[in-house]
Amino acid sequence: MRVTFLGLGRMGLLMAGHVLDAGHELTVWNRSPGKAGELVRRGAAEARTLDEAVRGAERIVLMLFGPDSVREVLPALSGAPAGTLVIDSTTIGPEAAREFAVTAAGLGLRYVDAPVAGSTGPAADGTLGVLVGGSPADYDDALPLLHLWGAPDRVRRVGDVGAGSALKLCVNQGLGVMAAGLGESLRLGSALGVDRTVLLDTLGATAYGWLLAQKRPMLDADDFSATTFSLDLMAKDLQLAVDAADADLSVTAASLELARGALAEHSGEDYAAMAAHAARG
Ligand SMILES: NC(=O)c1ccc[n+]([C@@H]2O[C@H](COP(=O)([O-])OP(=O)(O)OC[C@H]3O[C@@H](n4cnc5c(N)ncnc54)[C@H](OP(=O)(O)O)[C@@H]3O)[C@@H](O)[C@H]2O)c1
């Protein structure tokens, strides 16, 4: 298959690598040049322009920052062959997904939203969850690629366009609130004179266990530079969640405020910095 992959960030680079592993013909493009070196060494073609990237494509995968970046890139896909399937794995929110499906249809292209659950480890291992919104036929056409980075039992169609993105926002809303909550537990412990190591050991056996299993080394070192999922992305996703809900998400809104506050010091670093920021107050 001739596959075009747009967006070679932390996740995109790993996901595109699986396309090559599977023997497909791969063309890549990234807004800032210089990211494709390893993929090119392994046989990918690097396009200098979006127009060049999508010419002759049978599938186009988007793995960009968020809805604004997709909105910028999508019109430039007009040179792709009619009927090409666009698989948008960017975390964007359901309303944007429906907007992009309409834009894609206007260009003669098909569109599914297929955001992923899991970070760089599962992306490298090909064990991500993939939450797909789109028609059954488009889902079937997307599957051979989605199975390259998704675990067999974690790739699923959850409804029409937008459904995958709605589910994905719920997943990340939970993560953001947990990171904020963990930080406040640490702050409370500190205010009450609880030993921090004892506290972290104890919280590790509670609902925070999953988060601490991944992020404790960063918290212990007070160093969040080994980013897997950036604070900037988390702030974007919490904002998307607050904007998408026709409901009062006050805990989510407070977590968003916290993430925004942490950005001043920790932009580009891992979202675990939210917990440190909340712990400091
Ligand atoms: N990291 C994770 O653990 C994780 C897990 C699940 C889902 N996601 C989602 O997956 C997506 C990618 O995540 P990531 O961690 O790979 O992000 P990342 O490392 O920050 O990479 C973002 C990518 O988007 C590109 N980009 C940003 N603005 C753009 C624009 N206006 N036009 C064109 N390209 C633009 C960047 O290009 P430049 O190189 O030019 O900046 C880069 O290739 C995001 O939607 C994120 O929410 C991430």
28/129 same-domain check: yes
Residue 106 to residues 57, 77, 82, 179: CA-CA distances in angstroms?
A: 17, 11, 11, 40
What is the whole-number distance in angstroms between the Cα of residue 94 and the centre of ligand 1?
A: 18
Q: Is the CB of 190 under 6 A from ligand 1?
A: no
Q: Tell which residue, 10, 54, 65, has the closest CA to residue 29.
A: 54
Domain at 97, CATH number: 3.40.50.720
What is the whole-number distance in angstroms between the Cα of residue 67 and the centre of ligand 1?
A: 11
What pLDDT shows up at residue 280? Answer: 92
- pLDDT of 64-101, one tens digit each? 999 999 999 999 999 999 999 999 999 999 999 999 99
When divided into structural domains, the chain yields a total of: 2
Residues of the chain with pLDDT under 70: none
- pLDDT of 169-197, one tens digit each? 999 999 999 999 999 999 999 999 999 99
What pLDDT shows up at residue 281? Answer: 81
- The last residue of one of the domains, among 108, 135, 159, is 159
What pLDDT shows up at residue 263? Answer: 98
What pLDDT shows up at residue 276? Answer: 97
* Model pTM above 0.85: yes
Provide the pairing of β-strand 116-117 with 110-113.
unpaired
Residue 168 annotated as catalytic: yes
What pLDDT shows up at residue 246? Answer: 85
Paired with 187 in beta bridges are none
- The H or E element containing residue 45 is strand 45-46
153/15 same-domain check: yes
Among residues of the chain, what percentage have pLDDT more than 90? 99
- The last residue of one of the domains, among 159, 179, 195, is 159
Q: Is the CB of 32 under 6 A from ligand 1?
A: yes
What is the whole-number distance in angstroms between the Cα of residue 6 and the centre of ligand 1?
A: 10
